Amino acid sequence: MRLADGNRADTRSHEAYRHLRAFIEQQGVPDGARLPSESEFVDRLGLSRASIREALARLRAEGRAVSRRGSGTFVVHGGKPELVRLSAIESIRDLIDWHEFRVALESEIAALSAERRGTEDLAAMQAAQAALMARLASASAEQEDAAFHHAVAAGAHNAKLIEATNALTSHIFRWAEVGRRLVVLTLAERREIIAIEHGDILAAITAGNASDARTAARRHLLNGRARLLSTIAR
């Protein structure tokens, strides 16, 4: 997988961003209206899909748009900026950088969740893990995986940390997409690993052990990165 030229990528994504802003403002696109799809913008502007995706991410970060899975991206007037800007993943370096951010964020979230979670929070985490395991019997289960991590974040009872975790959802999907393409794990292997590694996180949070929760979350995320990078390096 070739590493992207950072300056050229930034220029292309900024050009795409300017075009999308101009489209919304000059066309008078109303609040709540659906924007053209990524492929339509690619055809219209002659830019790469990665540049369009980065431009849409910037609009979302500025509170000018919102994405609804399965429906598309919609214009928002007067929205608030996102806490975290989720830039496009265009290279292995991007993938590593965002994953390091995720490790730092979610390890501390798990520790806080162990200290602050209530009975309802634990029930939500257990339900999310059960749904994930059930889905992994037949499919890759990215949404269920994200739901488990969101449930852990909710247990920390910090709105900003929850918002930051939500902002990483598309990163989680992208990470899984790369893994599927490279056939890092079979579904059976992934299900076995998730049972153990998520199980360790959940057990530490249930026990109220912040140190163990931090360690389990960090180990889970670093193991996932090691598995993927070892496959890419082959």
Q: Which two tokens stand for residue 48?
A: 């790469």
Residue with tokens 């889905």: 135
The predicted-structure confidence for 30-89, as pLDDT tens digits, reads as follows: 888 999 988 999 998 888 888 888 888 888 877 788 887 678 888 888 766 555 556 666
pLDDT above 70 for 174: no
Q: How far apart are CA 49 and CA 173, in angstroms?
A: 17
Share of the chain above pLDDT 70, in %: 82
pLDDT computed for residue 173 by the predictor? 64
pLDDT at 26: 85
Which residues does residue 229 pair with via DSSP β-bridges, in sequence order? none
Q: What is the CA radius of gyration of the chain?
A: 19
pLDDT given at position 3: 35
Indicate the class that CATH gives domain 92-232.
Answer: mainly alpha
* Sequence letter at residue 161: L
Residue 71: which residues within 8 A CB-CB, separation 6 or more?
34
Q: Which of 167, 147, 3, 148 is nearest to 82 (CA)?
A: 167
Give the Cβ contact number of residue 72 at 10 Å: 14
Domain boundaries, the chain: 6-75, 92-232
- Predicted TM-score (pTM) of this structure: 0.64
Phi, psi of 13 (to 5 degrees): -70, -35
pLDDT of 177 reads 64
6-75 and 92-232 in the same fold: no
CATH value of 6-75 in 2.40.10.10, 1.20.1560.10, 3.30.70.100, 1.10.10.10: 1.10.10.10
Say how many Å lie between the first and final Cα of the chain, rounded: 11
Rounded (5°) CA angle 95-67-55: 55
Average pLDDT, the chain: 84
Look at residues 215, 217, 207 and name the one whose alpha carbon lies nearest to residue 115.
Answer: 207
Alpha-carbon span 7 to 22, nearest angstrom: 23
**3-class DSSP state of 28:** coil
